[in-house]
Amino acid sequence: MRYLLSLLLAGACGALHAAPLPQAEPVPGGVAIVPLGHAGSVAPRAYFNGDRVMVLKDERNWLAVVGIPLDAKPGTYAVRAEGRGSSFTVQDKQYTVQRVTIKNKRKVDPTALDMRRIRRESRIIHAALAAWHAKASVPLRFDLPVQGPVSSPFGLRRIFNDEPRAPHSGIDIAVPAGTPIHAPAAGRVAAVGNFFFDGKMVMIDHGQGLVTMYGHMEKIEVKKGQRVARDEVIGLVGQTGRATGPHLHWGVSLNNARVDPTLFLSPESLAKLEGR
């Protein structure tokens, strides 16, 4: 149904660089497609919550493709653009609760030394997510990085060892350790590292504030700054960081808001995603 709606919207708006839009779902952790008016020759800069947002052109109009944070409350929100503005409504969505037992208690209650490391790593991650790289054509339909069952869907309200923690900001796909991870679309490697919570992780910048993340890897096969092609192997699945078993944590960030990766999947890839 979501894909049908996105097709109807794409058809109404005209061709968008010959690529379909992500599935529009204006809920916390979702994506809103916001018309900005008649298209001039230069793309207007647009902002939501102080972060620059993706702007793409159809045959007649500029469209803002807006990522909605998981903590957004239902209501009307404004997109600010040069010489114009627009608004959209965020609808309510309730995500389920997941309780997880972590044997390594430091991964739930880090020590003071751990917290210094976490703060240092957070600056690296934030810099990659907040970066903006202009690009006229952005890949908005992804292939699956790995194929397997979803062990943890997006948006879960997670409770680790009876202590509430931040919602799950991606999807976990359970596959054996050593499974190759393929880039779902072309981009540039924005960051790599071995992080306290995410383990060995790769972040790929696809342009205009669209960044994908791959966590808990066993091995990283790419370097920061490297350009990767769609389907290129970027690493192997593992169990590093805060993980209870081998799996890939796959996240998508749009204008520095973590959003549901399934909204960007092609229909073929969505059909292959098990356990949704």
Q: Per-residue pLDDT tens for 177-235?
A: 999 999 999 999 999 999 999 999 999 999 999 999 999 999 999 999 999 999 999 99
Average pLDDT, the chain: 87
- For CATH 2.60.40.1590, the residue range(s) in the chain are 2-90
Residue type, 166: A
pLDDT of residue 37: 79
Q: What is the pLDDT of residues 43-85, one digit of tens each?
A: 889 999 999 999 998 877 899 999 999 999 999 999 998 767 7
More confident residue, 115 or 41: 115
DSSP helix/strand/coil, 8: helix
H/E stretch holding 80 reads: strand 75-81
pLDDT of residue 39: 67
For residues 247 and 172, is the Cβ–Cβ distance under 8 A? yes
| Mean pLDDT confidence for 250-275 | 90
| Mean pLDDT confidence for 118-128 | 95
Out of 3.40.50.1000, 2.40.70.10, 2.60.40.1590, 3.90.1640.30, the CATH code matching 2-90 is 2.60.40.1590
Q: How many CB atoms lie within 10 A of CB 214?
A: 28
pLDDT of residue 15: 35
- Which is nearest to 127 in space by CA: 13, 9, 60, 224? 224
Strand bridging mode 97-100 / 157-160: parallel
Out of 2.70.70.10, 3.20.20.140, 3.30.390.30, 1.10.3720.10, the CATH code matching 97-272 is 2.70.70.10
